Amino acid sequence: MFKKVKSIVIIKTIFSFLNEGRKLKLVRYNKKLQKKINKDLTNYKFFKGSYIINVSKGIVKELFGYDDTLLFQGNYSKGEKNGKGIEYNKDGKIIFEGEYLKGKRNGQGKEYDADGKLKYKGEYLNGIINGKGIEFNKDGKIIFEGEFLKGKRNGKGKEYDKNGKLIFKGEYFNGERNGKGKEYYTNKKIKFEGEYLNGERNGQGKEFYKNKKIRFEGEYLYGFKLKGKFYIDEKVEYEGEYLYNKKWNGKGYDKNGKIIYKLINGDGNAREYKKNKLIFEGEYKNGKRNGKGREYDNDKLIFEGNYKNGKRSGHGIEYSIKYEGEYLNGERINHI
């Protein structure tokens, strides 16, 4: 019966009682040699609901068994996907197009999301993203380009924001920033350069203002400043320790490099100096006198009271003129 067949034939028989172990057999006949080639398509079992509809010069179409939706079209060799091909989802949208080897994605390829939008373009190995590639957002903008290993960012790469602006360039490991790298403002000016661990700034690093002038240099831990120098107009304004990015234990300087305050255990405890003489001790917040404090002149107490944004505000006492009353923005408003 089969010897009379003059072209490629696919026998399609689907029974509901077939178990998981049954496999579709593709029977192909060569017109000249009339030699039967029985290829065991191990990737295609009835329980997965798909079947092969035709074969022509190594091109195969795979359809979903219940509604004939096209799932794959491409090259086959030795019963497996080999060469170029296209995969579709059950809605008929392309989810992958590229190269295959022994049934798996290998070589160059493009991957699409459920809406048919390109989300990755690059290299594959053994079915997994591996090598150089590019990731895209839903708007078609590049969000990452670089190296991958086993589906994760690994090696050198670049990150972009949703508008396609470069925001990071550096090293990756296991999908996250690890090693040396640089962050950028949207105007392409450098924002930070230094070391990373598990996606966070960790180790030595430097921050910069948008005008390229240095803002901070020192150590980071888990994304937070740990210890270093803070600059204003390239002059040290503070040097010391940080706690969760807040100045904690250190010294503050004026524009001439003279110590003007010493910070103890962060906001709320500070000392200011002038010509090595204590002029203030009390509570600090955001680098200014805020809360209760005391002022001195040649080691003599001249005022104690409340402060707000660096100025006397609230109740206070001036000892030099024996005044007690309320203050606002550094000025007396009444007295007792």
d(CA 336, CA 324): 6
| pLDDT at 40 (0 to 100) | 39
The encoded tokens of residue 81 equal 């996907």
What residue segments make up the domains of the chain, in order of their start?
A: 1-101
pLDDT above 70 covers what percent of the chain? 80
For residue 93, is it left (φ>0), alpha (ψ between -120 and 50) or beta? beta
76 phi, psi to nearest 5 deg: -125, 150
Give the pLDDT confidence of 125-174 residue by residue, as tens digits. Answer: 999 999 999 999 999 999 999 999 999 999 999 999 999 999 999 999 99
Give the least confident one: 8-12, 78-82, 98-102, 272-276: 8-12
pLDDT above 90 covers what percent of the chain? 57
Give the pLDDT confidence of 173-201 residue by residue, as tens digits. Answer: 999 999 999 999 998 999 999 999 999 99
**Closest to 85 (Cα-Cα) out of 102, 67, 68, 69:** 102
Mean pLDDT of 277-291: 85
pLDDT band at 276 (very low <50, low <70, confident <90, very high): confident
pTM: 0.68
For residue 251, the tally of other CB atoms under 10 A from its CB is 17
